[in-house]
Amino acid sequence: MAEVVESSNNNIVMPKLITFLSSLLQRVSDSNDLLLLHQHQKISVFHGLTRPTISIHSYLERIFKYANCSTSCFIVAYVYLDRFTQKHPLFPINSFNVHRLLITSVMVAAKFMDDLYYNNAYYAKVGGISTLEMNFLEVDFLFGLGFCLNVTPCTFQAYCANLQREMLVMEPPLNFADSSLISLGKSLKSHLCFNNEDNESSHQHQQLAV
| Residue 210 maps to a domain | no
What are the helix (H) ranges across 114-178?
120-127, 131-144, 153-170
Distance separating alpha carbons of residues 20 and 26, to the nearest angstrom: 10
How does residue 1 score in pLDDT terms, banded at 50, 70 and 90?
very low
pTM: 0.76
> What is the count of structural domains for the chain?
1
Domain interval for residue 125: 7-170
In a domain, 201, yes or no: no
Q: Please give the pLDDT value at position 41.
A: 61
Residue 207 inside a domain? The answer is: no
The answer to whether position 175 is within a domain reads: no
**pLDDT over 50 at 106, yes or no:** yes
CA separation for the pair 64, 119 (Å, rounded): 15
Query: How many helices (H) and strands (E) would you count in the chain?
Result: 8, 0
In a domain, 28, yes or no: yes
What distance in Å separates the CA atoms of residue 57 and residue 19, rounded to the nearest whole number?
7
Q: Quick one: pLDDT at residue 103?
A: 96
Domain for residue 204, yes or no? Answer: no
Nearest CA-CA partner of 182 in 17, 62, 66? 17
User: Is residue 21 included in any domain, yes or no?
Assistant: yes
Cα atoms found within 13 Å of the Cα of residue 97, Cβ hemisphere only: 23
Q: How far apart, in whole angstroms, are the C-alpha atoms of residue 34 and residue 119?
A: 36
Q: What is the pLDDT of residues 12-55, one digit of tens each?
A: 445 787 888 888 899 888 888 787 665 666 677 888 888 888 99
Q: If you average pLDDT over residues 163-176, what whole number do you get?
A: 65
Q: What's at 36, amino acid-wise? A: L
Sequence-distant (≥ 6) Cβ neighbours of residue 91 within 8 angstroms: 41, 42, 44, 46, 84, 85, 97
Convert the pLDDT of each residue in 115-155 to its tens digit.
Answer: 999 999 999 999 999 999 999 999 999 999 999 999 999 99
Task: Provide the CATH number for the domain around residue 74.
Answer: 1.10.472.10
Q: How many CB atoms lie within 10 A of CB 92?
A: 21
Distance between CA atoms of 192 and 98, rounded to whole angstroms? 26
Q: Is residue 25 part of a domain?
A: yes
Q: Report DSSP state, residue 206.
A: -
CA 43 to each of CA 16, 94, 129: distance values in angstroms, whole numbers, following the listed order: 32, 11, 18
| Nearest alpha-carbon partner for 99 in 187, 37, 150, 26 | 26
